[in-house]
Amino acid sequence: MYAIVEIAGQQFKVEHGKKIFVHRLEHEEGKEVEFDKVLLIEDDGKITIGTPTIKDAVIGARVLDKVRGDKVIVFKKKRKKGYRVKNGHRQNFTEIEIISINGVKSPVRKASKKAELPETEVVVVEETVKAKKTSKKAAVKKEEAPVKKASTKKVSEKKPAEKKPAVKKPAAKKTAKGK
């Protein structure tokens, strides 16, 4: 069973036990809330559509928490004018859990999965790790490898490049016109 309901100006698809975030509601945490703007209800293949809402249909919910959404950066800029403004915004939300659709309470939740699983014993198995055998040739090659020493050559210092004199261009002659 699910329903389409309008909450705080937005439409949500809700089901029993579903948790949703809606724009900030004025109700306190732990209180139960009812929404009467139900647009559609589906119940085992039977669909009821409202014109625009279904009369006498009510969605029951419980307010769980009041939270803030992710930060949204608002950046404004006008080219060539030097105008830049950076603002941040975090929207306020209320987390609600749907507890009833049209008077039908949500089904009883099953026990947690931890309770359903049988207890199991933990068995620790030790494994022996065998080292790789290296051949005699590889061992001899490692021992006989020549050791490189740091070079003792003097590094020649680089001289700065000589600056060439700038070539001067002849100035253009000014001509007097119309005398």
pLDDT of residue 171: 72
**59-87 burial, b for 16+ CB within 10 Å, e for fewer?**
bbbbbeeeeeeeeeeeeeeeeeeeeeeee
pLDDT of residue 99: 94
How far, rounded to the nearest angstrom, does the alpha carbon of residue 39 sit from its chain's CA centroid?
Answer: 31
- Spell out, as residue ranges, where the chain has pLDDT lower than 50: 110-115, 117
Note down the domain range covering 6: 2-106
pLDDT of residue 40: 93
Residue closest to 99 by CA, chosen among 110, 111, 108: 108
pLDDT of residue 150: 58
Q: Measured at the alpha carbon of residue 41, what is the angle toward residues 38 and 43, in degrees to the nearest 5? A: 155
CB neighbour list of residue 87: distance below 8 Å, 6 or more residues apart: 73, 74, 75
* Tokens encoding 167: 């070539």
CB neighbour list of residue 68: distance below 8 Å, 6 or more residues apart: 90, 91, 92, 93
Residue 111 lies inside a defined structural domain of this protein: no
Residue 56 lies inside a defined structural domain of this protein: yes
Residue 15 lies inside a defined structural domain of this protein: yes
Is pTM, for the whole model, over 0.75?
no
Residue 122 lies inside a defined structural domain of this protein: no
The DSSP 8-state label assigned to residue 102 in this structure reads T
Residue 67 lies inside a defined structural domain of this protein: yes
Residue 179 lies inside a defined structural domain of this protein: no
The DSSP 8-state label assigned to residue 114 in this structure reads H
pLDDT of residue 103: 73
Residue 125 lies inside a defined structural domain of this protein: no
Domain count, the chain: 1
Residue 7 lies inside a defined structural domain of this protein: yes
pLDDT of residue 113: 45
